[in-house]
Amino acid sequence: MASNMISSILPPTSQGYLPIWLWIVASTALINGLVNLATPNAPSPSSKGKNATTKANPSHKVYSSPSGSLSSTPLTARLFGTWNILSALVRFACAYQPKNTPVYALCAATFILALVHFGSEAALYGNIDVKKAGSASPFFVAGGSLVWMVAQAQWYAEA
For 12-32, the pLDDT digits (tens) are: 888 899 999 999 999 999 999
User: Model's pTM, two decimal places?
Assistant: 0.82
Q: Which positions ≥6 away from 64 have C-beta within 8 Å?
A: 70, 71, 72, 127, 128, 129, 132, 135
Residue 157: band (very low, low, confident or very high) from pLDDT cuts 50, 70, 90: confident
Query: Which tops the pLDDT comparison, 78 or 108?
Result: 108
Secondary structure (H, E, C), 18-43: HHHHHHHHHHHHHHHHHHHHHCCCCC
For residue 47, the model assigns a pLDDT of: 47
Q: Which positions ≥6 away from 147 have C-beta within 8 Å?
A: none
For 52-100, the pLDDT digits (tens) are: 444 566 665 666 566 666 667 788 888 989 999 999 999 999 999 999 9
